[in-house]
Amino acid sequence: MFQGETAITIDDKGRLAIPTSYRDQVVRECGNRLVLTYSPFDAGCLYLYPQPVWERVRDQVNALPRTKSVSRNLQLKLVGAATFVEPDGSGRIGLPASHRNAVGIERKAVLLGMGDKFELWSEQAHLAQIRQTLTDADLGDGLLDLQL
């Protein structure tokens, strides 16, 4: 289970170092194989899945009817853009330039542990998300029952 927020610097070769606190867990849970793809919900964000979690997500998304535009959009953003990445001996993974450019990740980024996956946000998009205030309308559908 991944959780927490880490400020990340992308090096000149487009690599990020997986925080040391997660490295053993990444090796243990997925044999050091991760999948990078776009978030279908947030413009400034990439998802980084452990391979076993990714395979379940991929299969669910591919099972959706291709004739529906929302399904096709999910398939394009998640499956069509997915790429395997493996940390090197220093725990760094390469982020393809196309992915970085599409979400606006340059030198500064934020890595969030979100349970079964990581989210990698551009610094600007992350700040914008954090600064948004939830309203009562946002907290409908039983979310008001949460003990936050």
Residue 135 placed within a domain: no
Q: What is the pLDDT of residue 132?
A: 83
Arithmetic mean of pLDDT, 122-147: 75
**11-30 mean pLDDT:** 94
Q: Residue 133 — very low, low, confident or very high, per pLDDT cuts 50/70/90?
A: confident
Residue 136's pLDDT band (boundaries 50, 70, 90)?
low
User: Is 113 within a domain?
Assistant: yes
pTM of the model: 0.90
pLDDT tens readout for residues 66-86? 999 999 999 999 999 999 999
Q: Find the CATH number of the domain harbouring 20.
A: 3.40.1550.20
Using CA atoms in the order 124, 39, 117, 91, what is the torsion angle rounded to 10 degrees? -60
For residues 16 and 108, the answer to whether their CB atoms sit within 8 Å is no
Q: Write out the residue range of the structural domain in which residue 57 sits.
A: 2-126
- Residue 108 within any structural domain of the chain: yes
Q: Sign of the C-alpha dihedral, residues 29, 35, 40, 41?
A: positive
SS3 130: helix
17 domain residue, yes or no: yes
Instruction: Decide if 144 is inside a domain.
Output: no
Q: Which amino acid is at 24?
A: D
Q: What is the pLDDT of residue 147?
A: 52
Number of domains in the chain: 1
